[in-house]
Amino acid sequence: MADVPSALVFLGSHNEVDQISPVIYKLATRETLSIDVVLQTGVPRDDYRIEAIDCYDCVSVYSRGGERDLGDRLRSAALNSAKAFGRKLPTDVPERIYRRFQGATSDDAGPNLLIPEALSGTKYDVVGFDWTHASGGNRFSDRDDVTTIVLPHGDSPYTNFQLQIPSHFEEFLDELRDNQGVMEGEKIPVYNNYRDFLKYDRVVFPNELTASRLVTDDRTDQLRVLGSPRYNPEWLDVLSEIAPPAEITCTEGLQVVLFVRQAWYFVSEREVTHTIELLDAVPGVEAVVKEHPRDPLLDSSAADDLEDVHVVRDDVESASLVAWGDVFLDLGTTISFEPIVRGKPVLELDYAHANYAVISHYFSNVDMRCKDDLFYAIRDFLVDGVDDFYDSDERNQFVNEMVSTGNATVLDSYADLFEEAAGV
């Protein structure tokens, strides 16, 4: 595609594939740019979304450096085993040591986005990457010959922004003890590193809640709020066509999916265990518990003695479970946005974590404050079915503010931004 403006896009984690592959898809359908996609270590080439964008003539997908060698694979296996053992100890010291060692030894650590040899020296009009690669700077920070675009990494599952995890809470306590301005009304100093984004040409957020992480007095054209690339209806229609089916035996009963997230979001493993035991005991329910891609919460044997609850990890895609399930239980994950947009009921297990979920803020009937609430909600679904769960006004407000931001063509807006940056 000689003489066609070009874009370079990096994908380096589950979140990046979730958020950025929809944008690449839309650009590919418009055929206005030649797009090189670089998969950093950890993103499989056979991911169903990667395969979907790779079939377009204007898209070329490259692995960052080929397959990892045996030493890399053995080191990764040893680290994962050590991490699993450390979670069983009555201290978080092994986990913190693991995170520090992993960050220090990761191929993708540090300020640079790595480019495969085949693309070295290639000139691009626009470069896109998610905000984890923007914090602290990267190899494109000071480049004047390309337009840089910082893309979303997530959609913000909690309305409380500053004290979501223990490290933020501890930082806040230190600020209070030192009395350095917090009592005078300044914002809790957790997201100061987002100011690093301002060294790039364009910074995109999915909604105003997430955009508020970047505290700035000057909301110029550099900052854009364009909606959620992952959860907008256009992309969900694509997912319905390309997501692999969930290989789970269907039943005549109510199919319930529980999306779990890491303990360090103040999630109680004990309460989650009680919840899956409750689900197993309710007649007419079959449940699947989907662990978060990073740092599983539950022991691998958590469901060994349960008949109607199955624990899955990366072997089953979240999008496939959204298609399979009738009802969804959440612990403050943005994957809960997808069934809401599709009109499927979601219940927020607020009794099992210490944050305030976005969906509890928007919907009057999703907030489960105790296990009694969950039991009666499940019973009602078994008796009355799952249709017409949401108040239409509440759902419309949620979709408008958290998914579309008043933008009927979310993916086209992202594509417009890339084309504008490339001079199309």
First to last CA, the chain: 14
Backbone φ, ψ for residue 12 (5° rounding): -130, 5
Task: Give the Cα separation of 420 and 222 in Å (integer).
Answer: 13
How much is the pLDDT for 189?
58
Task: Give the Cα separation of 330 and 274 in Å (integer).
Answer: 14
81 within domain boundaries: yes
Indicate if 199 and 153 belong to the same structural domain: yes
Indicate if 21 and 160 belong to the same structural domain: yes
How much is the pLDDT for 100?
47
234 within domain boundaries: no
Indicate if 259 and 221 belong to the same structural domain: no
Indicate if 53 and 80 belong to the same structural domain: no
Indicate if 288 and 178 belong to the same structural domain: no
Indicate if 86 and 195 belong to the same structural domain: no
**How far, CA to CA in Å, does 186 sit from each of 160, 210, 392?**
16, 18, 37
236 within domain boundaries: no
| DSSP sequence for 221-270 | TTEEE---TTTSHHHHHHHHHHSPPP-----SSEEEEEE---GGGTB-HH
Digit-by-digit pLDDT tens for the chain (424 residues) are 457 899 999 998 888 999 999 999 999 999 999 999 999 877 889 999 999 999 999 999 998 754 333 433 454 455 556 655 654 565 555 655 544 444 443 443 334 688 888 888 889 999 999 998 887 778 887 788 899 999 999 999 999 877 888 888 887 788 778 776 566 656 665 667 788 888 899 999 999 999 988 866 666 789 999 999 999 999 999 999 999 998 887 677 899 999 999 888 999 999 999 999 999 999 999 999 999 877 888 887 777 788 889 888 888 999 999 999 999 999 999 999 999 999 999 999 999 999 999 999 999 999 999 999 999 999 999 999 999 999 999 999 999 999 999 888 999 999 999 999 999 8
Indicate if 216 and 304 belong to the same structural domain: no
**Enclosing domain of residue 93:** 70-103
28 within domain boundaries: yes
How much is the pLDDT for 379?
97
Neighbours of 216 (CB within 10 A): 14
Q: Show which of 103, 119, 154 is a domain's final residue.
A: 103
Task: Give the Cα separation of 341 and 218 in Å (integer).
Answer: 32
For strands 254-259 and 147-151, give the pairing. unpaired
Task: Give the Cα separation of 412 and 400 in Å (integer).
Answer: 16
Task: Give the Cα separation of 35 and 59 in Å (integer).
Answer: 5
3-state class (DSSP) for residue 408:
coil
How much is the pLDDT for 167?
84
How much is the pLDDT for 226?
96
CATH of the domain at 46: 3.40.50
How much is the pLDDT for 153?
93
Question: What's the structural domain count of the chain?
Answer: 3
Geometric angle at alpha carbon 21, from 265 and 77, rounded to 5°? 55
- Mention every residue, 6+ apart, whose C-beta is less than 8 A from residue 79: 98, 101, 102
Indicate if 206 and 265 belong to the same structural domain: no
- The alpha carbon torsion through 334, 76, 17, 118 (nearest 10 deg) reads 160
Indicate if 367 and 272 belong to the same structural domain: yes
Structure tokens given for 277: 């035991």
How many residues appear in the chain? 424
How much is the pLDDT for 315?
83
Indicate if 87 and 115 belong to the same structural domain: no
Burial bucket for residue 184 (CB in 10 Å: 0-12, 13-18, 19+): exposed
Indicate if 221 and 95 belong to the same structural domain: no
CB 316 within 8 A of CB 288: yes
